[in-house]
């Protein structure tokens, strides 16, 4: 694993951490507030130029939080670099598109 500080994460609505440790901590906080989370990418486009690849997509995120089902859509951009024979994610940016929230199962809002 290449351990440098030039990695970036740009989650919607959050501080933009830099460096592997800060990025891991940010993802831990994101996942700790849900009982279930699933990502389903759509509209995926991949562009490769030399040792750099850009992947754009719509990230469909399904989560259960406090008894509510959430469906969020995020416009995602990911940049990968081909380093030592592996494609490594070096930048992720997500811009919120929409969020829908269901009522809890018993009907209480």
Residue 3 confidence (pLDDT): 46
Residue 106 lies in a domain: no
Position 107 in a domain: no
Distance CA 68, CA 103 (A): 6
Domain CATH for 28: 3.10.450.50
Beta strands in the chain (DSSP E): 8-10, 36-49, 52-65, 68-83, 86-101
Is residue 30 a part of any domain in this protein?
Answer: yes
Look up the domain containing 31 and give its range.
8-101
Residue 3 is assigned to a structural domain of this protein: no
- pTM of the full predicted structure? 0.65
Nearest to 97 by CA among 56, 68, 45: 56
> For residues 84 and 6, what is the distance between their CA atoms, to the nearest angstrom?
16
User: Quick one: tokens of 25?
Assistant: 């901590």
> How far is it, in rounded angstroms, from Cα 13 to Cα 8?
15
Q: Is residue 1 part of a domain?
A: no
In a domain, residue 74? The reply is: yes
Count of domains observed in the chain: 1
pLDDT given for residue 74 in this prediction: 93
Residue 41 lies in a domain: yes
* pLDDT tens for each residue of the chain, 109 residues long: 344 455 555 555 555 556 667 777 777 777 776 778 899 999 999 999 999 999 999 999 998 877 888 899 999 999 999 999 999 998 888 899 987 877 555 544 4
């Amino acid at each position: 694993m290449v351990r440098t500080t030039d990695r970036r994460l740009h989650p919607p609505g959050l501080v933009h951490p830099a460096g592997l440790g800060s990025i891991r901590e940010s993802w831990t906080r994101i996942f700790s507030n849900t009982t279930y989370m699933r990502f389903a990418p759509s509209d995926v486009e991949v562009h490769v130029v030399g040792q750099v690849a850009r992947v754009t997509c719509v990230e469909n995120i399904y989560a259960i939080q406090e008894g509510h089902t959430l469906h969020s859509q995020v416009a995602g951009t990911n940049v990968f670099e081909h380093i030592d024979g592996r494609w490594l994610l070096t930048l992720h940016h997500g811009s919120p598109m929409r969020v829908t929230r269901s009522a809890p199962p018993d009907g209480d809002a």
